[in-house]
Structure 1
Amino acid sequence: MKLPNFACLLCQQYSDHPVCEYCKTDTCFLAKGGYKDNLLTYPQIRRQFRHSGYDNLYACGEYQWPFTDLVHNMKFHRCLTSARILADWFVEFCIHEDTLLPDCLLPVPVHFRRFMHRRFNQAAVIARHISNQIDRPVYHDWACRKGGKTQHKLSRSQRLLNLRRAFSTSIPHDVHHVAIIDDVMTTGVTADVLAKQLRAHQPALIIDIWVMALTTCNPLIQRTRCAD
């Protein structure tokens, strides 16, 4: 028998769901702010992220509360329930009946040192939860990280230089449409480099980027609009 949670992960108030309805209602989802489907069709988003290698970008929200809390708890406190919440929200707000689903999901590989410290890849955990809901396989060995520094402390130009030779990629030739999965997109460089490597082998490949949150230079949604 499934027992209630009794407390919301975000506000710590009574809740029979991991995130209470009050916190979910107060969350600024991009879809509710008018940003739907492929986010690259919006100039204010497209110009903030490197995107020459992939076709479509989908995200749940901006990297602000509660996404910051959920991602932080997942990465640094091993709260894998956060991964399920993020995956559930992504499916609810980013995937619709007419969405062209990919053939497979490709989680971004985590740096080896971070994997040894955390003992899990947060992108792979999120991808597994999404996979269970949309019935698409997850390919875990599609990209191998060969080295390089961790990305979060590097500038945009440093990230690009660091990543150019950081990965080797490979997917089956009968795959025609993929979705690269990650928790947060900061500059788009990692996704773009991975996408370009895939496209170098399969030029006709359709490549989506599915992330839970975007780190934007300028806010896309004002918090005063969230409760509308």
Structure 2
Amino acid sequence: MLPSLRLSLNHHLQTALRCSVCHQPMDEASAQLLAGICYSCLKLLEPEIQARCECCAIPMGTAGICGECQRHPRHFDKVRVLGDYQWPLDTLIKRFKYSGQQHLARPLAHLLWQHCAQYLSSEHVEFTFVPQHWWKQWRRGFNQSELLARELSRYHKRPLRSLFRRHRLGKAQVKLSARARRRALGSSFRLLKGDLPEFVILIDDVVTTCSTADVLAQQLKQAGLQRVEVWAIARTPK
């Protein structure tokens, strides 16, 4: 029993002191300072400087508002992302989301906070997250957006609010067009009762068509919120 326990403990310590991305060894001080990401991977994961839509964050040739957001004005005010859903972010997200590697929530949230916190203009802001249907969350074992939001709320030193409930499972949204998504999502979410702040940041892992974020932002704006931002790890380019 004791040798087995010692082996398990050593394995845990070794894993805890390895980079969450490349698995190379890290010293304890660096692991704590960089949220488990080595300097090389941190540099690789830094957001690229490129023009994005000032509303939905889709990549563009020049800064401005994309045609989709001009034709169909959004209910949210801004989407902020680390980068596009491509290597290496897509690899990390898949490991986090589909392989049960929940420890990746911390370094991913750390990177997102470093990139987005500079734009916070008010302390009166609260984090919430895109909810999952209970059946889907039970099968996966966790809600990846909630884990990210929980880490971000610790950075901001404010409590995490669960503001929505998803009461309809629906179809896999990734297979639907933007118009079909909005129609399917219209009655899938319910805003929970309670006092609301003036500014909410909605956390998700990946933004694809922004349909889910737009539906949730619409409910928040109708409830009287002044500003809704969406923070996500990655944006799926069209």
Q: TM tier, shorter chain?
A: 0.7 to 0.9
Q: Letter of the aligned partner of 1:40 in structure 2?
A: C
Give the 4+ runs in structure 1 shifted more than 6 A.
Answer: none
Per the alignment, do residues 187 and 51 of structure 1 end up closer, same or farther by CA in structure 2, a change over 3 Å counting?
farther
Kindly, what percent of the aligned residue pairs are identical? 28
* Structure 2: distance between partners of 1:64 and 1:168: 32
Report if the CA contact (8 A) 1:170-1:198 is conserved: no
Quick check: which has more Rg, 1 or 2? 2
Runs of at least 5 residues in structure 1 that lack an aligned partner in the other structure: 218-228
* Structure 2: distance between partners of 1:51 and 1:121: 29
Report if the CA contact (8 A) 1:186-1:214 is conserved: yes
Per the alignment, do residues 162 and 71 of structure 1 end up closer, same or farther by CA in structure 2, a change over 3 Å counting?
same
* Structure 1: distance between partners of 2:65 and 2:204: 18
Equivalent residue for 2:236? 215
Equivalent residue for 2:23? 12
Could you tell me the TM-score, scaled by structure 2's length?
0.78
Per the alignment, do residues 212 and 100 of structure 1 end up closer, same or farther by CA in structure 2, a change over 3 Å counting?
farther
Q: What's the C-alpha RMSD, in Å, of the aligned pairs?
A: 2.7
* Structure 2: distance between partners of 1:41 and 1:143: 21
Per the alignment, do residues 206 and 172 of structure 1 end up closer, same or farther by CA in structure 2, a change over 3 Å counting?
farther
Q: Does 1:23 align with 2:47?
A: no
Per the alignment, do residues 78 and 22 of structure 1 end up closer, same or farther by CA in structure 2, a change over 3 Å counting?
same
Corresponding residue to 2:204 among 167, 170, 182: 182
Per the alignment, do residues 60 and 171 of structure 1 end up closer, same or farther by CA in structure 2, a change over 3 Å counting?
farther
Per-residue displacement from partner, 1:11-69 (whole Å, max 9, x unpaired)? 33333443321122122514xx1569x94297837426675111122112211122112
Equivalent residue for 1:118? 140
Runs of at least 5 residues in structure 2 that lack an aligned partner in the other structure: 1-11
Question: Residue 7 of structure 1: CA displacement?
Answer: 3.5
Question: Residue 90 of structure 1: CA displacement?
Answer: 0.9
* Structure 1: distance between partners of 2:147 and 2:181: 24
* Structure 2: distance between partners of 1:171 and 1:39: 31
Paired residue secondary structure (1:211): strand
Higher relative contact order (CA 8 A, sep 6+): 1
Higher helix share: 2
Could you tell me the TM-score, scaled by structure 1's length?
0.81
1:1-228 residue pairs with structure 2 within 5 A?
A: 3=13, 5-16=16-27, 17=31, 18-30=36-48, 33=49, 39-40=54-55, 44=60, 46-47=65-66, 52-96=74-118, 99-140=121-162, 142-147=163-168, 148-170=170-192, 172-202=194-224, 204-217=225-238
